[in-house]
Structure 1
């Protein structure tokens, strides 16, 4: 019996929602070719680090928390008077080493520099804040994702998984967990966001956003009074 290998383009593979495909031993050139083959109009997200590629297809219920957290971050940035430019799930790369697509990301300190950009250019900085939603938990995925973000040097990464929100801050080239977000140091951001995400499933998105706005306003007023 002779075994004949069958090659099939990644773009022709049907990946069910919630599935993960891992490909090791992939050169940077092969990674670039796969990205071109996959195109930009796709549900799948990718993470590449040091020769290993993961293709992840989110579950349908993945989208609602992702969109909600992105909307909440916009409210937080506006309420605290910070400039920003959202860059969605843009593909960020470090040539020859890593590539990653956040579920959402924001330029904050670098917002003026990136305003008006239709596509990334060589020398552009990484986003100041990236958000990653994990709908499953495996050590491989966790290590892969963090390694890719570390290589690209995203200063602040939020990972939402299993009803919990973790803040990672880049320190000497590696991520360390933090109890607070440096972007919003005076606010209990984790508590507020987790409450809003939980509410969206029971009261709906508009009501959850309204409750978040009220809580945010109350905290900011409290902070102003404490400074007087």
Structure 2
């Protein structure tokens, strides 16, 4: 059997590596070895570990959609705590994920001031966002962690997944923003940002939301 160090694995931007038969203790050791200040993103479910190196396209869309959610929350005067790409894991469930962005909204008061998350006592984020450019979101992991609402952006289209009976269903509306056409808004303004640029697009989105509410 050949043993490799993580430092020997070079993952180009936009690519991923799947490692199978990884125990929970090995997953924890990998998290520790890679540290918190890293570019790679990890997802672990039932012994399979995915290590992904985000592409520029992925990072641009991640930041843009995250900023859009913040604008929505601000304009609707909804409080939140943003936990970014925090590692959410449960040893008893043998899963761990790192969303592209995530927010505590309904449970923002419970998470106020916290700098560490322990899902044995803390709730999962109310809204998680994943940008699927080179890999597919591990839905089973998010279902296991019971994240109520998951947005997935892929092929210039937003899909909203809502937890129902422990499984995700595709929803035409966002339970977090039920009065707004979220799918149309996010899709339209992400596409506009390609030609108009980030800042003008976000200003236009804010103006549009003011009109809608």
Give the structure-1-normalised TM-score: 0.89
Q: CA RMSD in A?
A: 1.2
Structure 2 equivalent of residue 226 of structure 1:
none
Alignment equivalent of 1:187, drawn from 180, 189, 192: 180
- 1:107-150, CA deviations, whole angstroms, 9 ceiling, x for partnerless residues? 0011111011111134111000000001135xxx34xx101111
- 1:73-127, CA deviations, whole angstroms, 9 ceiling, x for partnerless residues? 0111121121100000000012141000000000001111101111113411100
Q: Displacement of 1:205 after TM fit?
A: 0.8
Alignment equivalent of 1:127, drawn from 120, 125, 128: 125
Could you list the runs of 4 or more consecutive aligned residues of structure 1 that deviate by over 4 angstroms after TM superposition? none
User: Counterparts of 1:209 and 1:12 in 2: how far apart (Å)?
Assistant: 41
Structure 2 equivalent of residue 44 of structure 1:
40
5+ long unaligned stretches in structure 2: none
Q: Do the aligned residues in 2 keep the contact of 1:136 with 1:161 (CA within 8 Å)?
A: no
User: Counterparts of 1:148 and 1:11 in 2: how far apart (Å)?
Assistant: 26
Structure 1 equivalent of residue 142 of structure 2:
149
Structure 2 equivalent of residue 172 of structure 1:
165
Alignment equivalent of 2:97, drawn from 77, 96, 100: 100
User: Counterparts of 2:116 and 2:49 in 1: how far apart (Å)?
Assistant: 23
User: Counterparts of 2:167 and 2:7 in 1: how far apart (Å)?
Assistant: 33
Alignment equivalent of 2:56, drawn from 54, 57, 60: 60
User: Counterparts of 1:11 and 1:182 in 2: how far apart (Å)?
Assistant: 42
5+ long unaligned stretches in structure 1: 221-228
1:198 aligns with 2:191: yes
User: Counterparts of 2:165 and 2:5 in 1: how far apart (Å)?
Assistant: 39
Higher helix share: 1
Query: How many equivalent residue pairs?
Result: 211
User: Counterparts of 1:41 and 1:9 in 2: how far apart (Å)?
Assistant: 18
User: Counterparts of 2:8 and 2:63 in 1: how far apart (Å)?
Assistant: 28
